[in-house]
Amino acid sequence: MSVASEEVGTDRESQLARAEQAYRERNPRSQSALERLAQWLPGGDTRATTWFDPFPLVIEDAQGATLVDLDQHRYTDFLGNYTSLVHGHRPDAVTRAIHEALDRGTAFAAPLLDQGELAGRLVARIDSVELVRFANSGTEANLLAANIARTVTARQRIAVAAYSYHGSYELLDWRRPGPATAVFPANDVDGTIQALGDGRDLAAVFIELVQHAGGVVEISPDYLTFLRDFTRACGALLVFDEVVTLRLGYGGRQGAIDLSPDLTSLGKLIGGGLPIGAVGGAAHVMASTAPQRPGAYLHGGTFNGNRLSMVAGAAALDLLDRAAIERINRLGERLADGIRAAASQRGLAISVTSCGSLLTVHSLADVHTSAQSQAAAAQPLRRLLHLKLLEHGLFSAPRGEFVVSTAMDDTTIDDALVAIAQVFDEL
């Protein structure tokens, strides 16, 4: 390391220490609340992804694109509960649907017409989906997809890409693969063949069409076509994880690239802000879960298809028409371009990867891959940047992720870029 690099590193550490102290002084009520919550919750929180040092904010209220914390600071919400709130907080049509449903009861040990309403909307939007089955999270959806694949193929092994995220369960976790999990490098045909061999022991290959937790890195259409051909040749099912990427196109990301998987896992925005997961796919594959069918995979779940998630999801999908998707994708690209320009003008080692309404700001220059994104996340600048953005009223993910919602407009982006420029000046 050069003397100049050492000086920059030391200065960043000093800046970070000052930013953390200012953050503590600015947020005493959140800190006190976290200490209180720690009496009942390990570490004071119940989601690993919401934690950051020195402590996360405790949110009291939200409306549209605005969050309010316990210390009464207001933030523009560029995270949307990690992409699930595509319309921001408390959109009228969604809250109205929930209130009306409450008067008719919430969950029953029986089918509901509301389940068909949401499932029908998904079938109408996504060409590869003929039948749908509901769960309560993206993690559950992906586990269901894995079990469907195991039932249909009579095989056990599941393949996932490095730097992917398919939920909090070890079978689908590339970081700690067991004997039933194979890990392959996305966007690398030769590396994938080397990792998976002929694939004849695989039940399914899972892939995100944009590696979301991996830094918003797109998977190339050519590589996805290779996976489609590979899985057909070896008899494995191809699963597209569109839990996050459904927002990128009316028929999901797969609609934009005109490629059909065997199964699609869904979640987040299709619940209208309430817990949900879903798996959809070809009728002959999904039929393996029909309980009246001999040898079916019997998929249960007390709150699968609960009324509130169904009506909220249907209302949210109705609002997310083609024009709404085009608008938030345009706003997202405008935000990404503006951040790139602001960093370049100031000579900061910051880069942005983006796809429509999703983007990640990296604390290193020239980040293009998920591996580079992970390296950038280890930089002191990443934590410093996150705390400074909060100080200027921008709520984003600690890892640098920004998400645009339909509650935002061009003025929202203008104001955010002014704040980001101020942060960059301070850096």
Q: What one-character-per-residue DSSP string does 89-119 give?
A: BS-HHHHHHHHHHHTT-S--SS--HHHHHHH
Asked if residue 252 has pLDDT above 60, the reply is yes
Tokens found for residue 328: 């938030």
112, 229: one domain: yes
Q: What DSSP state is assigned to residue 163?
A: T
Tokens found for residue 361: 């700001």
Total-model pTM: 0.95
Rounded mean pLDDT of 340-347?
Answer: 97
Residue type, 98: I
290, 397: one domain: no
pLDDT at 99: 97
100, 236: one domain: yes
Domain C-terminal end among 274, 299, 319 = 319
Query: HSE of 403 in the Cβ direction (CA atoms, 13 Å)?
Result: 26
Rounded mean pLDDT of 320-348?
Answer: 98
Q: What is the maximum alpha-carbon separation in the chain?
A: 71
Distances (CA, A) of 128 to 123, 132, 235, 239, 378: 8, 11, 18, 11, 39
- How far is the C-alpha of 211 from the C-alpha of 253, rounded, in Å? 12
- How far is the C-alpha of 368 from the C-alpha of 166, rounded, in Å? 21
19, 112: one domain: no
Asked if residue 6 has pLDDT above 90, the reply is no
Tokens found for residue 317: 């999908």
416, 371: one domain: yes
Taken in order 403, 321, 246, 144, the sign of the CA dihedral is positive
Rounded mean pLDDT of 90-99?
Answer: 98
141, 285: one domain: yes
Q: For the stretch 308-329, what's the b/e string if a residue is b when 16 or more beta carbons lie within 10 angstroms of its beta carbon?
A: bbbbbbbbbbebbeeebbebbb
72, 100: one domain: no
Number of domains observed in the structure of the chain: 2
Residue 252: CATH number of its domain: 3.40.640.10
Query: Residue 139: which domain range?
Result: 92-319
pLDDT at 165: 97
Neighbours of 50 (CB within 10 A): 15
341, 422: one domain: yes
Geometric angle at alpha carbon 301, from 93 and 241, rounded to 5°: 65
Binning pLDDT at 50, 70 and 90, where does residue 4 land?
A: very low
User: For residue 57, which of 82, 27, 35, 21 has the smallest C-alpha distance?
Assistant: 27
Tell me what percent of the residues of the chain surpass a pLDDT of 90: 94
Asked if residue 337 has pLDDT above 70, the reply is yes
Taken in order 356, 360, 364, 368, the sign of the CA dihedral is negative
Asked if residue 267 has pLDDT above 60, the reply is yes
Query: HSE of 324 in the Cβ direction (CA atoms, 13 Å)?
Result: 17
pLDDT at 2: 47
Residue 61: CATH number of its domain: 3.90.1150.10
Asked if residue 127 has pLDDT above 80, the reply is yes
Domain C-terminal end among 272, 294, 319 = 319
257, 376: one domain: no
Does an H or E element contain 70, and which? none
103, 77: one domain: no
145, 259: one domain: yes
Distances (CA, A) of 353 to 288, 361, 406: 39, 7, 21
In what side-by-side order are the strands of the sheet with 263-267? 131-135, 277-281, 263-267, 237-241, 202-208, 157-161, 181-184
Binning pLDDT at 50, 70 and 90, where does residue 10 land?
A: confident
- How far is the C-alpha of 236 from the C-alpha of 328, rounded, in Å? 35
- How far is the C-alpha of 78 from the C-alpha of 89, rounded, in Å? 12
347, 307: one domain: no
More confident residue, 259 or 135: 135
Rounded mean pLDDT of 368-394?
Answer: 95
pLDDT at 1: 46
Q: What DSSP state is assigned to residue 64?
A: B
Rounded mean pLDDT of 268-288?
Answer: 98
Tell me what percent of the residues of the chain surpass a pLDDT of 70: 98
Q: Please tell me the total number of residues recorded for the chain in this structure.
A: 427
Domain C-terminal end among 290, 319, 348 = 319
Rounded mean pLDDT of 142-166?
Answer: 98
- How far is the C-alpha of 263 from the C-alpha of 132, rounded, in Å? 10
Map tokens 């269901």 to a residue: 144
Tokens found for residue 343: 């960093």
Mean pLDDT for the chain?
96
Residue type, 84: S
- Which residues 6+ apart lie within 8 Å of 288 measured at CB? 148, 151, 152, 296, 297
The answer to whether the CB of 351 falls within 8 A of the CB of 365 is yes
Taking only the tens place, the pLDDT of each residue in 192-220 is 999 999 999 999 999 999 999 999 999 99
Binning pLDDT at 50, 70 and 90, where does residue 8 land?
A: low
End-to-end CA distance of the chain: 21
What's the CA dihedral at 165, 170, 174, 178 to 10 degrees?
A: -160
pLDDT at 308: 98
- How far is the C-alpha of 65 from the C-alpha of 68, rounded, in Å? 10
pLDDT at 49: 92
Task: Categorise residue 105: left if φ over 0, alpha if ψ from -120 to 50, beta otherwise.
Answer: left
